[in-house]
Structure 1
Amino acid sequence: MVRLTRATVLLTAGLVTVLGMPAVSAAEAPADLFVNNGTNAHCSDTGPGTQSVPFCSLQPAVKVVRPGQTVRIAPGAYRGALTIDRSGEQGRPITFVTDTANAAHRAVLGDALSLDGASHLVFRGVTARNAKIERSSDITMETSMLAGEFVIGAGSADVRVSRSTIGSGQIRDGAQRTIINRNNINSTASRPAISVEDASGTAIANNSITSYCDAGISVTGASTGTSLVNNVVFTERAQPRCETPLITRHGLRVAQSAAGGTQADYNVLYQQTGITDAAYHWAGTDHTTPAGFREATGQGAHDFVNPADFTAAVVDSADATAPGALASPDFVGFAPIDDPGVANTGKDGGFLDRGARESHDQLSTVTMSVDQPWAPVGTKVEVKASSNSRWPAGMAYSVDFGDGSSPVVTRQGEAAAAVASHVYSSPCACVVKVTASNATGKKVHTEQPVKVTAAGALSAALTVVQVLPTSDSPTERVSPLTVRADPAASTTPWPLSRADVDFGDGTTQQVSDLSQVTHTYRTPGDYNVVLTLQDSKGTTSTSRHLVKADYAASGYVAIEPFRFYDSRDDTPVMPGGTPLWMSLPIGFNQPEHPLSASMSAVVLNVTVTGATQDTHLTVWPDGQDRPATSNVNVRAGATTSNTVTVPVGNSNGALMQLNSGWASIIVDFVGYYQPNIGQRFTPLAPSRLLDTRTAGGALPGGQTRTVKVAGVNGIPADATAVALNLTGTGATENAHVIAYPDPARRTATSNLNVEPGKDKSNQAIVPVGPNGTITLFTNSGSTHLVLDAVGYYGKDGRTLFKPVVPKRLADTRATGKLAPGATTTVSGLPANAVGAVLNVTATDTTGPGFLTAYAFGGTLPGASSLNTLPGATVPNHVTTPVGSGKVSIFNSWGGSNHVITDLLGYFTNP
């Protein structure tokens, strides 16, 4: 607690006398004036000086300011000399103040400030260069910076300079009752830091003065009634800027003419090592010690010269009753405070410090440690707290243990830390809060969570769930095959020394705080996830959970197709036998096409061209082994394309590999599947939407044809995309065909590559365009086109898509060819599959014909799934209904075929 002494009471009572009359009430004060020369201030020197239209410079404000007004000056430099001869009135001063909340930012009042014949003025928070006060009275300067030459003279009276930074000051030429207090004075000029000459009633109190080239304080001439009290004067080594020869650097110099009327006491004079000048020069005689000075002059009874313990000499040792002494905050804002570790040696037991600065404990932080941050009910928990206070003996700590119990108040005293203890009676996730307070009432806080558990045995418990995306944001990434393990239900009475989750694929994550952790598997499968806990008592417990990592059922998002990979732009040809990683356009991977970051599978149109030999291409998710499947089969020198559906790999990519030879690869992005996003799919028995051989004629090169696809053949009018089997026949030239939604914006992609004399087909998933249509285009020659619908996506769709890592379901090369007119049954599909996405390949064909895939047990539709060619291997992406986990594939009467069936995914009811 702060002790109120007689000195404090006297000092408080004298404040009105020192600082002037009380301020005028706000109701009586006229409006403020504003000065702001900032770039966007809209200032005018002929304007009203309001906040919205301030003056640009100071002189216009000085000309019109009236008693009781405040001139608010924005921080900045205001060039040119400034003369102030305006005056306020007793009790109604004119105030000049820097208009900012930041004390470090000040307004600079001109290159030279002159007060001449002015009175009742207040300056606060400003900077003045080479300031001079003459023939003026009742002037207050505080919390300011007075640089260069600062002069008070020519009969000025009652000038007060406090709580400021001063270069050097001169009080002279008949000045009366000047008070210089609580200032930081640092002089490199070749004159005393503070000089008093022919000035009466001057009080220099509680200043911190540093002088390099001359005396710290000099009093000369007829300076009667001078008071030099509570100052700390440093005499430092000479700086290069000092004149030579150096002037003798006394800490305190009082001439014979002024000695009789000068009082000096409670000063600390500190001379830097190497300075041999005497600390005092009084009435023509040097004195080096306070004892000698006191014996010779009767002054300085409480002075120190070069004290061994500087803090003890300065702190709580001043005369609070001396003329000019202030109990208000010092020049950096600290108010006087009683240091509990220092005896009060000031006059009458006061605790005002000497010099401009008040010693404070600098309290800003508090730290704490908890010996048992995790323990069962009934355990004694001990908290140790300490702070950065320079006065630990006066610190008090309130420890709130966070369970509703009363805070424990303790003191640090002389110990390294304050200690408080508590026993929790029930489990909780509590927060211990420590509040530290010093003798002035300043408080700082800190807190730390603690875990209080139920008493009992260690028991591990684990839940594991699949993590699914909730949006199609390009920034929120949720990878397929991601799970979340939560060990929070474990019973852990004591702190854990080991806590980890083994995900069963060689990956282990620590969960020392029993928080949830996520993990993404590289491949689907069954994994045994194990949580292992070991506590500080050596007890171990485990929990096991069998996890099936699988691709989640997903909806389809149809987009306007775009080309995102073309090896001809970079590496012209791709070598066979080497896998090539392909970055999929996920999230912002393709900045011009931002898409969802949480796709589970993508639909691509892959074209292989310029093959050096007969070969095939396989596409599969990255991070997984290459499957024994194929997606595109191509002859040497030919161009072939196929739709590919492939899950997204763990690095947002896919791998592709040619079996042999070399070729160029072109990839168009068609759409994607994602859980909780997109449209459901309804599979249909193939139904014909267009056959140019019977209606409309062949499509000429460079021409388009619009086809109605929604609102016909069982496809609802609000379908968002349709799955189609697109067949080209009777082509006159090698060309490509594009199917796209908007007839006004043809995409730079392709769906089918046609050749003269060959029937070729490819499946396409096309967004529905205006009025339920799509548009077809071929680039050259002419070709007949056949369009068969195999399903649609829309709001009333019935099924969701389950991606799978491509796998082979059937290969007749192991069982015998499929004869003309025969049907083979492909099994191995999940029992809940109602539709399937297959890659069907015909090879070793003896005659031209076609294959048709349809649901096992269903009726053979009058449409084809792919067209076969003698001597050619032909693949196609096929979407077909499923019956009882099986698919039937019918071979036309054109010739015998080997048929290879690969599974890319399947549709299931939600």
Structure 2
Amino acid sequence: MRKTPLAGLAALTLAGGTLLSGSPAQAAEASTLYVAQGSAACSDTGPGTQEQPYCTIGAAAGVVAAGQTVEVAGGLYRERVTIGSSGTSGQPITFRGQNVQLYGATAGITVDGQHDVRILGFQAVSVSAAPALDLRDSSAVTVDGMRFNMPGGATVPAVRLSAVAASSLTKLSVYGSPLVNGIALDATTSGVTLTGSTVGGSSNYDKTPDSFGIRVAGARNTIVNNTVAGFSDAAVEIEPGATGTVVANNAISGGAGYGIRNRAGTGTAITNNTVGARCRDGIRVEGASAGVSVQNNVLRYNGVTWSNSCHYASQQGTEVAVHDEAVTDTVVDYNNTIHGSLPSKDYSWGGVLMDLATLRTRTGQGAHDRSGFYPPGGDADSANSAAPGYQATDRRGTPRVDDPDVANTGAGPITYADRGATELLRLSTAVFSTTLDLGVRSVTVDASGSTRGSYPIASYRFDFGDGTVVTQASPVATHRYATVGDYRIYLTVVPTAGPTSSYSRYVSVLRRISTVSLLSAANLRYVQPTWAGADASRFGVDSTDKFDIADAGNGQVAILSQKNRRYLRTDDITMWLDSSSVRAEERFTISTNADGTISLRYAATGRYVSVANSGGLYPNKTTIGIAEKFYRVGVNDANSWFKAKVNSRYVTAPYAGQSWLIANRSTVSTAERFDLVNLGGGRWALFSRANNHFVTAESAGAKPLIAARTTVGLWERFTVVHNSDGTVSLRAAANNRYVSADSAGAKSLIANRTAVGLWEKFTLG
């Protein structure tokens, strides 16, 4: 079959303009200050508009007033930001960042002596000399969605609160390598809620002294719905002097120390937590602790000394331990415990190990506890909803729901509450994947991954976002859109009884400009999707390596993999293929270079996509070098072959490309395959599959053609001339002469003819 090479830069031209055109910037609102260190127009002397943003966050922090929002553009900021102004209850000060990294040993955010401040987003990376977030003498501070990464050896807490009142920390991610100290609330901090956060390190069994995940020393603080792993002292520690602390709905997993440790705290409610794989006690109450309640918790495989990670004897423990004066009035009830093959070690009371039956006999505790390998679902509908610290929702925010298949054996006003951090009603779960076909503007929605809950799924309702709604028994539906655009698809899973489950996501149905494969100029390998994203590591082209270039508007493009039908996206650091919609993270511009290559520029930061030595793609370069260049191979131009008309034999690069090209093969295999690389302006390069090198008209055409070059210069450029009989001829740019199958194909191909005759004609397939 004959293949026609695609046009060059013209394939990247849009109706009414080119992809290099831009759109005017919008004026900043008076209530918003902007920071963008990557902007060429930025200035720390103001005015902080979109057109002229501040270069540093600190500059904006120095002038922000009540009711204003500081919007920070993505990027790496080497600074510590001190917020020195307060808002009001109705007009807080807000700092918001997306893909913003505060980087360096002393980087981070400090709020000292302020109130009504909101901090949203942001990341703090490699902070070691000070807390990444330091709140002091402040109140009504809201922190949401921040990420912290502390290097190994940093001993200061990642997050430190001192004399803070009536504040909330939500959805924090606190990590380290390993993380020594996570979040610390000192003795003068009260009324703080920490919720929905993840605290952990790269070493779950790190044995560093004085290592904790969350430490509380003040009054009336609430630690709910968090995930904690690692730490050699305790995942959650309640210090002497702490009063009225609620520790509820937390999921605590492997680590060298205790799971939850109450060290003489008063009135602590340890309720509905799930604690497992701790080397020491899962829950420990000790010292002069008074009025402590341990109820509705699920504890599994804590204090297991035979574990490979807990082999040192000093780390042994049990599931629930109550010691010292704490035995006087601590309440232990409605818990589920499993201690591996040693049920006699489920409890320790006053230093004596015992099983559940002995605990009940000697102490009267654990009347409703369950111990051992209870049946699946044994946590369901069996908790005490009157326990101190009990939460109306579980750690995911799910209300307590009655499972009709489980008898209600709980206590309190809600007898169907579950034990542990997670409500166990088996609800149906709606989820779907999308497959885009830009050629026909269609999307296929596959909801096969949706799961039934306590009731079977009766139907699937698909709302395609353009007014089309389809309800059917099958989980797969395809829809074709009349026009391009962004559409939000809603899926509702409808069970035979009980609540429905819904899920939605956006899809971008864009106009396809062209379909190409991208050959890295740096390593002469093709870009391909991988399990982790995308890299330039593939030899040869098939459907795996083809990408649709689509018009994303405003002179920008999006890049869709034809293999997994996902758009290429980036977070400013890495790149992967997992998006069905086009937002800022999926937008690029294309630059055409003088040598016929193209470069991809991440629109949000203006940085070029670069190929690392490993083949990975990273949007991190400000200038174009060879690692930022890609050759284009059109959808019909890969794996091509040439057959000489004079002898009907295929052109080959024999001996793995080590010898001159010659037309003497009767069949096509790898050595007879060539990828036609579009250099623009009607010029092409021939990329031999025999050895992944470019074909050259050696010695400016004085010698035969050979696949021997790793870069494209003048000698490697050819014009494809289409003859009237359907054949093609190749004219070498090196000497402007036609390539001939010399001596009727008996000799090697050489560019030495001034006119096209029979020897200079080839069938292109």
TM-score category, normalised to shorter length: 0.3 to 0.5
Q: TM-score normalised to the size of structure 2? A: 0.46
Q: TM-score normalised to the size of structure 1? A: 0.39
